Structure 1
Amino acid sequence: MYYKGFYHLFYQYNPKAAYWGNIVWAHSVSKDLINWLPLEPAIVPSRPFDKYGCWSGSATILPGDRPVIIYTGIINEKPDPGHQVQNYAIPANYSDPYLQKWIKPDNNPIIKPVHENVSSFRDPTTAWFNNGHWKLIVGSKRDHRGIAYLYRSRDFIKWTKAKHPFHTKKHTGMWECPDFYPIGTNGSGDDVKYVFKASLDMTKFDYYTIGSYDLVKDKYIPDNTSVDGWAGLRYDYGNFYASKTFFDPIKNRRILWGWANESSTKTEDIAKGWAGIQLIPRKVWLDPSGLKLLQWPITELDRLRGQKIELSNVKIIKGETLEVKGINVVQNEYKPSFGAFVDVDLTEKKLSLRSLIDHSVIESFAEGGRTVISSRVYPTLAINENAHLHLFNNGSEIITIERLSAWSMKTAHIN
C-alpha cells in the first residue's frame, strides 16, 4: 500500500530459518518500489488469537487516511496446518509515515469459521466499499472445491458472511491468497472488467479469470472466455506464487507483485540460507481484446540502467552464435524448465522479448507482456567474469535481430 509518501511492503517471513515456520509479518518501505528500507516486523505471534502464526492477509486504507491490516491468525496447531481465524491490527501512531508499530486490539478475532473448514480458511483480501458495506473475501475449500467466501461490514469490526460464496469452482482445491480488483485497459481503476485470482495450493501456481461483478447479488461471474483452475490463465508460467496487487494512487496504476518460490528441496534451502524472493513489481492492465492481462516491469526499474549496448539488423544463420560484448553479465547458465504459449499474429514474422537477469532469477516478458515466465536459476559455472551474453539461432531459417538493447544494471538497495 501507499501511505504518507512511502510504499509499504508486508511479507511472510521466517526470521529463524530458510523454510516455512515461525511466520511473522516482515515490513519494508520504499519511495520508488525499487530501493527498500527494512524495518522491524509489523506483526508477530503474541496473543491467543495468533499464538501459532501470523499468516497472510491484506491492508486497506479507510476514510480519513487510516490503514488497517486484516490477517490470518493460527489459534491451534491442530487440525493441520492449523485452526485459522481472521484478526485486525491498526497503527499505534497514524502520523508515523513508516508505520513502525502496530496494535492488535483485544476484540480479535473479528472473523471466525463457523461451518467453514477451520484448517482452510485464510488470506483475507483488501476490502472494498459499496452499497453501504465494506466487503472482503477469504480463501477456503470444501473437499476438493475451491471457495472464496464473502464477508460484509459497516464498521470494519463486525463482519457477516454472505449467504452464498463470492465465487467457487469444483476440483480446484484450496484457494490461497485470493485477489479481486477492477481493471482497465490503462491499468487504472476504471471499472472496465474485474479480475479474480486464486493461488492453487494443489499446483503452487497463480490462476486468474476475467469477468464481471454483480453488485446486486454480490457475486463474481467469469466471462465465458475465462476458465477457472488448471486450464485457466496464469500471471506467470514459472516460479510465481501467492501474488498480490494494489492500486497505486500516485501513478494511477495497478501493481502486481509475486513471490518466486523455489524448485529446490528443504535441505538445499537450508544449505543456501534462504528460500523465496520477491520479483520485480509489474504494472498490470487489460489487453484491448478484454481476454487477458498484460504485464510489464514498472518504469522505476529503468533508473538502475547503466552501460548500454545496441545492435540493429543483425542476421543470424541456423546454428550460429553471436556474443554481445560491452556489458556486465552476472550469470548465464539457464536451462529452460518452463514453457508457455504466446498469443501473437505471425503474419509480420516478428516477435519481441524482454528479459531481466539477476544473480538467481530470470524474468522474461514476451510480446509486450502477453506471456511471462520467471525462473529461479543457481548457476555454478557461468557467473561473474565467466558469464557471457549470446544471441543464437537453433531454428531452421535465418533470423534478423531488428533491434537489441542491453544494459548493465546498478545494484538496488534491498533487504
Structure 2
Amino acid sequence: MSSQTLREARQYEEVYEKLIPAEERPKFHLSPRVGWMNDPNGFCIYGDKYHMFYQYHPYDAHWGPMHWGHAISSDLLHWEFLPAALAPDEFYDKDGAFSGSAITLEDGRHLLIYTGVMKRTVENGQVKEFQTQCIAIGDGVDYEKYDANPVINSDLIPEGSSKTDFRDPKIWKKDDGSYRCLVANRAPDGSGHLLLFKSDDCIHWDFEKIFAKNERRYGLMWECPDFFELEGKGVLLTSPQDMLPEGFEFHNGNGNICIIGDYDSATDTFTEEKVQAVDYGIDFYAMQTIKTLDGRRVMIGWMQNWDTSGAHDGKEPWFGQMSLPRELSIKDGRLCQWPIKELEDMRSGKVECKDALVAATQDLKASDSESIQGGVSFDGVKGRCVDLELEVKPANPDDMYDRFVISIAADEKYHTDIVLRPKENIAKIDRKFSGSRRAIVHQRRAHIPWNGDSIKVRIVLDRYSMEVFFEDGLYVMTASLPTDVSCDGIYFNTNKDAIVNIVKYDLQ
C-alpha cells in the first residue's frame, strides 16, 4: 500500500504535468514529469521496456526532498511517464530517497536499491545526515519498501570510513547467480573509495572488500559509481566532487571520470590502468549504463552541473534533463561514446553541402571574443532539433586556420559557439552569449590530439541542449542551453579560408 506522501506526489505530478506543453520540453531527451530532476537512478530493462528512474522533487524546479520519478521507453529516445516510484516516507529515508539502481529478481519481481537519508542529532548537538541502503520490490509500477530496511546498514562499513557519506548503490548479478553492490563512501583520508558488498538474494548483504580507492587524486567524495565489463576490460565510472583541474583533462568542481583496467571476476579484483574524463563539457554527471538486449553497452547521464544548477528561475515548470543515450566502446585504450543508433531512425530532411567555402573573416582574431558577425550560413542548415555532421579542412593545406567557429542556436543577438583550434589541439565550447543572465560556468576546453588537417565533428541539438562528438566519439562535450528555441541559426566563421562538408538532418 502506498503512503500518503507518495499518493500526494502522484496526484500532484498527474495534475501539473498537463500544464507543460510538449513543445516546451526537449524532444528526445528525458526531462522530469514536473519539477526538478537530477541523477539517473535504476536504469534497467524490465519486462519489454527500458526503465529510467531519477532523483526528483515534483513540487518545484529546485532540489528538495528526494523522490524517485519514473519513465519507460521502447527506444531510449521517446519516453512515457509513470507514477513516481518512491517517496521519503519512512523513518530511515525521511530526509530523502537518494540515488540507486535496479535489478530483476529470479521470481520476476523488480527490485530497487536506493540510499535512505535520515538526519539526527548526535552527542555534541550537531545535526548529521546518516545514509543507509534500502530496497523496494514491485511490478514495474508500484513498489513496496522492505519491512526490515535498511538492508546495508552502517555497521557493515569498514572501520574509519564515513557513516554519513555512504550512498548510490550500484547492483549487478554475477554468472554464478550471486549479487554484488558497489556503494560510494568516504575513506578515512577524506577522499572517496568504493565499497563492495555481496549477497545471494539481494536482501541479506555482507561486506566483501574495498573495490577502488581515490587516495585524494581525483576530487574528494566519489558519487554514483557504475561498473561493467566491456571488450575484455573492467570499466568503472564515477562522479567526483571537489575536483582540482589537471590541464584540460579534468576541471574544477564536480566532474566525471572513467577508470579502465583489468577485472578478475573470480576474486572481484579491479586493477586500474587508465583514467580519463568521460565528458569534457559543462553539463554531465552521475552517469549510469545498461546492457541492451542486443548486447550494446549504453550510458545516460544527468545533463546538468551542480555548480550551475541553482542559477535558474524556480518558477519554471521543470528543470533538468538526461543526456542522449550513448553507445560505449573502447578504442585505443580510451572510452569511446557515440549517439545511440536508434537516433538515426529520427532523421529526415537531409541537407548536404559539399566542398563549401567558408571565407576568412577579417575581424576574427585569435582571442576569446567569438562573434557571428560576417559568419557564413548555408541554405537549409539551421534548426534546434538537428543531427549535424561536419568535416572542416583548410582551403590551403599549407595555411591552416588558427580558429574555426561553429555558432549554433544563433540569431543577431544570441549564439553558442564550438571553437576548433587545431594548431593548439584545443576544442572549446562557449555559451556566454546564449541568453544566460547569471555568471555561471559558460566555457570549457578539451585537449584533442587531432591527426591530419581534416577535423570531423558531430553535433546533436535538442531544443535546450547540445552534445558535440569529436574524433568519432573519443571526446565529447555537452552543455545545456537556455536560449529561446526561436534562435535556430547555424553559422560558420574562420580566420583563414576553410572548406567544409556538411550533412544535416532534422530530428523528428
The TM-score range, normalised by the shorter chain, is: 0.7 to 0.9
Structure 2 counterpart of 1:389 = 490
Q: How does 1:306-321 map to 2 (within 5 A)?
A: 306-319=348-361, 321=375
Q: What residue identity is the alignment partner of 2:346?
A: L
Structure 1 counterpart of 2:200 = 154
Structure 1 counterpart of 2:141 = 100
- Residues 1:294 and 2:339 aligned together: no
| CA-to-aligned-CA distance 1:353-387 (integer Å, 9 cap, x gap) | 0111232211100111010000122226xx51x53
Q: What residue identity is the alignment partner of 1:161?
A: F
Q: What residue identity is the alignment partner of 1:199?
A: S
Aligned length: 379
Deviation for aligned residue 1:64 = 4.5
Deviation for aligned residue 1:350 = 1.4
For residue 238 of structure 1, the aligned residue among 282, 285, 294 is 282
For residue 416 of structure 2, the aligned residue among 334, 337, 351 is 334
Q: How does 1:234-273 map to 2 (within 5 A)?
A: 234-249=278-293, 251-262=294-305, 264=308, 266=310, 268-273=312-317
Q: What residue identity is the alignment partner of 1:341?
A: H
Checking the alignment, whether the CA contact within 8 Å between 1:324 and 1:391 is kept in structure 2 is no
- Residues 1:183 and 2:230 aligned together: yes
Checking the alignment, whether the CA contact within 8 Å between 1:7 and 1:30 is kept in structure 2 is yes
Q: How does 1:10-409 map to 2 (within 5 A)?
A: 10-76=53-119, 82-91=129-138, 93=139, 99-114=140-155, 115=159, 116-130=161-175, 133-142=178-187, 143-162=189-208, 164-171=209-216, 172-184=219-231, 192-202=232-242, 203-223=253-273, 226-227=274-275, 232-249=276-293, 251-262=294-305, 264=308, 266=310, 268-287=312-331, 289=332, 291-319=333-361, 321-326=375-380, 328-330=382-384, 331-332=409-410, 333-335=415-417, 336=430, 337-346=443-452, 349-379=453-483, 383-384=485-486, 386-394=487-495, 396=496, 398-401=497-500, 403-409=501-507
Checking the alignment, whether the CA contact within 8 Å between 2:302 and 2:322 is kept in structure 1 is yes
Checking the alignment, whether the CA contact within 8 Å between 1:52 and 1:74 is kept in structure 2 is yes
User: 2:312 & 2:182 partners in 1: Cα distance?
Assistant: 36
Q: What residue identity is the alignment partner of 1:83?
A: F
With over 3 angstroms needed to count, the CA separation of the structure-2 counterparts of 1:316 and 1:77, relative to structure 1, is farther
User: 1:80 & 1:318 partners in 2: Cα distance?
Assistant: 61
User: 1:140 & 1:269 partners in 2: Cα distance?
Assistant: 33
| CA-to-aligned-CA distance 1:78-98 (integer Å, 9 cap, x gap) | 67772100011111x4xxxxx
Checking the alignment, whether the CA contact within 8 Å between 2:290 and 2:298 is kept in structure 1 is yes
Checking the alignment, whether the CA contact within 8 Å between 2:171 and 2:179 is kept in structure 1 is no
5+ residue gaps, structure 2, are 1-43, 243-252, 362-373, 385-408, 418-429, 431-442
Q: What residue identity is the alignment partner of 1:60?
A: I
| CA-to-aligned-CA distance 1:46-87 (integer Å, 9 cap, x gap) | 222212210000012233444311110113256777210001
Checking the alignment, whether the CA contact within 8 Å between 2:102 and 2:110 is kept in structure 1 is yes
Q: What residue identity is the alignment partner of 2:493?
A: F
Deviation for aligned residue 1:195 = 0.5
RMSD between aligned alpha carbons?
A: 2.1
With over 3 angstroms needed to count, the CA separation of the structure-2 counterparts of 1:132 and 1:248, relative to structure 1, is closer
Checking the alignment, whether the CA contact within 8 Å between 1:194 and 1:210 is kept in structure 2 is yes
With over 3 angstroms needed to count, the CA separation of the structure-2 counterparts of 1:390 and 1:118, relative to structure 1, is same
Checking the alignment, whether the CA contact within 8 Å between 1:239 and 1:375 is kept in structure 2 is yes
Checking the alignment, whether the CA contact within 8 Å between 2:282 and 2:304 is kept in structure 1 is no
Structure 1 moving runs of 4+ over 4 Å: 77-81
| CA-to-aligned-CA distance 1:305-357 (integer Å, 9 cap, x gap) | 232210111132322632122255233210411121224322xx211101112
Checking the alignment, whether the CA contact within 8 Å between 1:80 and 1:119 is kept in structure 2 is no
| CA-to-aligned-CA distance 1:242-293 (integer Å, 9 cap, x gap) | 11111112x2101100111146463534154443211111111111x2x111
TM-score normalised by L of structure 1: 0.86
User: 2:115 & 2:260 partners in 1: Cα distance?
Assistant: 27
Q: What residue identity is the alignment partner of 1:321?
A: G
With over 3 angstroms needed to count, the CA separation of the structure-2 counterparts of 1:30 and 1:265, relative to structure 1, is closer
Q: What residue identity is the alignment partner of 1:213?
A: Y
User: 2:279 & 2:133 partners in 1: Cα distance?
Assistant: 27
5+ residue gaps, structure 1, are 94-98, 185-191, 411-415
SS at match of 2:298: strand
Q: What residue identity is the alignment partner of 1:166?
A: F
Structure 1 counterpart of 2:424 = none
Checking the alignment, whether the CA contact within 8 Å between 1:167 and 1:219 is kept in structure 2 is no
Q: Identity percentage over the alignment?
A: 28
SS at match of 1:170: coil
Checking the alignment, whether the CA contact within 8 Å between 1:286 and 1:292 is kept in structure 2 is yes
User: 2:85 & 2:236 partners in 1: Cα distance?
Assistant: 28
With over 3 angstroms needed to count, the CA separation of the structure-2 counterparts of 1:269 and 1:88, relative to structure 1, is same
Checking the alignment, whether the CA contact within 8 Å between 2:279 and 2:478 is kept in structure 1 is no
Q: What residue identity is the alignment partner of 1:387?
A: D
SS at match of 1:243: strand
User: 1:2 & 1:177 partners in 2: Cα distance?
Assistant: 19
Q: What residue identity is the alignment partner of 1:340?
A: A
| CA-to-aligned-CA distance 1:18-40 (integer Å, 9 cap, x gap) | 22211111000111111111111
